[in-house]
Amino acid sequence: MLKLIFSELSPAKIDEKGVVLDRWNQMQSECTVQEQEQINLIQSHLTAYRLALMNEATIWARAIYPLIMLAERENIQAWSQVTLNAKYPNFELGGIIDGVLGNCASGTISTPYIVVMEAKRGLEAENPQYQLYREMLVAARLNWQKPADKTEQEIYGCYTISDTWTFMHGIVKEFEADYPVMEVESSKEYIQRNEAETILQILKFISHSR
């Protein structure tokens, strides 16, 4: 069996639909007064600093992960640095995912609903969406293995560059074929300094739809 890590080429057939604004514009989940206060606090950690001079880990800790945590509810939790592995018929994918929002059971993330990756900056950085596709394939496979559903799987992903977020919606099917198929729709870029509330609304919509 072929073993791949997230930095290698995706073995799936990817059908990219491009930016589909309607999908993300419909994801409305109002923020509470308390959540808005938390957003303002997180934003204060961005506006007072030069983000271009900050490294990825600092931006992740100050801005990205705190916003993901605000979308938690009941047993759906935000986790950082999560190791996920999945086996398809002809290959195996695995690695460490920067952030996950998913169902937490017995102290582990058992069902990931959205995976978030922090894209690297600089000349050596690869196209982040392809690594994100691989992470989404792992999450979809883990969800597919649950006894309740053996059909196609809906999965969400997001990559961040500095404080800019780009969301992906995926439908994965043909899990038992030689190569699975994933249809992907992308969002526009959301800049957290200006659109933190919209980003949280999308995260909450995904969380509350489960």
In a domain, 155, yes or no: yes
- In a domain, residue 80? The reply is yes
Residue-wise pLDDT for 70-88, tens only, equals: 999 888 999 999 999 888 8
∠149-202-24 over CA atoms, to 5°?
A: 85
Is the residue at 71 inside a domain? yes
Mean pLDDT value across the chain = 86
Assigned domain for 127 exists? no
Residue 126 lies in a domain: no
Q: How many domains does the chain fold into?
A: 1
- Identify the CA nearest to 87 among candidates 142, 130, 133: 142
The answer as to whether 171 is a domain residue is: yes
- DSSP letter at 47? H
pTM greater than 0.85: yes
Q: Judge whether 16 lies within some domain.
A: no
Backbone phi and psi for residue 195, each to the nearest 5 degrees, phi listed first: -130, 35
The range of the structural domain enclosing residue 183 comes to 2-7+40-120+132-208
118 and 107 Cβ atoms separated by less than 8 Å = no
CB atoms within 10 A of CB 41: 10
CA distance 109 to 119: 22
Kindly report, residue by residue over 140-176, the tens digit of the pLDDT. 999 898 765 567 899 999 999 989 999 999 999 999 8
Is 87 part of a structural domain of the chain?
A: yes
